[in-house]
Amino acid sequence: MTAVLSTHGLVARYGDFQALYGVDTELHAGESVALIGANGAGKSTFLRAIMGLLPVGRDMVRLDGAPVGGTRPNEMVGKGVAIVPEGRRLFTGMSVEDNLRVAIDRAGRAGARGGWTLARLHRLFPILAEKTKVPVQSLSGGQQQMVAIGRALLCQPRVLLCDEISLGLAPKVIREIYAALPEIRAEGTAMIVVEQDVGLAQSASDRLYCMLEGRVTLTGRSAEITREAIGEAYFGVRHAMA
């Protein structure tokens, strides 16, 4: 079966600094894959490279087997890829609804089609229905994260890239947000979830990749990978044994 999304020897640089060293991954339709790794491992870079936010070689990223590396972000939206970026990056000074309308317009322009509407999003995160006219900066962190996820969903993704959606949130809010992911997957949307909390990453995914200093150091089925293997892959064997 052809992967919906795959990377092949993906390399990425910031000027002279190389952040990714040949990353091979694949994501199948409806699958949830977690990407874990320490600070600076290259997780956000990996998602940004897929999204077309960094220059990468054409063949290094494929959608349904077709090379798309380096395609502009708006075009990637048209092809069914959306990102919930690290730090949310909402438009402060704008209401919840206006933030979401930007995504609806963007998806419309890009030609992305799908079943997500404001009403549907309000069923997924009911609190957003009460806050439509509220400026995003006056929402709690968890509510802002729901807006950021909503903005990505309104781009009608087949592939959703989530960058540390639990960061800085209270456990109860994290549970609420992660509880929404299966419903998103039920649409057939595949997702890559970047997560620092290893237990959460394992429980929310079918398969897992661990990255260290720009390389994949471990991959396998999330339910089968041991804590010990993760520890070694996360910190490097030398560190684990020290």
Ligand X SMILES: Nc1ncnc2c1ncn2[C@@H]1O[C@H](COP(=O)(O)OP(=O)(O)OP(=O)(O)O)[C@@H](O)[C@H]1O
The Cα 33–Cα 25 span in angstroms is 10
By CB under 6 A, is residue 17 in contact with ligand X?
Answer: yes
Q: Which of 6, 7, 32, 45 binds ligand X (CB under 6 A)?
A: 45
Type of residue numbered 236: G
The Cα 36–Cα 231 span in angstroms is 11
Which range, of 33-41, 104-112, 177-185, 230-238, touches ligand X by CB under 6 A?
Answer: 33-41
Comparison of 24 and 86: residue with beta carbon closer to ligand X: 86
Q: Which of 7, 34, 43, 195 binds ligand X (CB under 6 A)?
A: 43
The Cα 209–Cα 218 span in angstroms is 6
Nearest distance in Å: CB 20, ligand X:
8
Contact in structure between 47 and 10 (CB atoms under 8 Å): no
By CB under 6 A, is residue 14 in contact with ligand X?
Answer: yes
Residues in CB range of 33: below 8 A, 6 or more apart:
25, 27, 190, 191, 192, 193, 205, 206, 207, 208, 209
Comparison of 19 and 159: residue with beta carbon closer to ligand X: 19
Q: Which of residues 76-115 bind ligand X (CB under 6 A)?
A: 86
Sites of contact with Mg ion (CB under 5 A):
43-44, 86
Nearest distance in Å: CB 144, Mg ion:
17
The Cα 110–Cα 78 span in angstroms is 4
Q: Which of 10, 33, 41, 233 binds ligand X (CB under 6 A)?
A: 41
Residues in CB range of 215: below 8 A, 6 or more apart:
20, 21, 22, 23
Contacts with ligand X, residue ranges (CB under 6 A):
14, 17, 19, 37, 39-45, 86
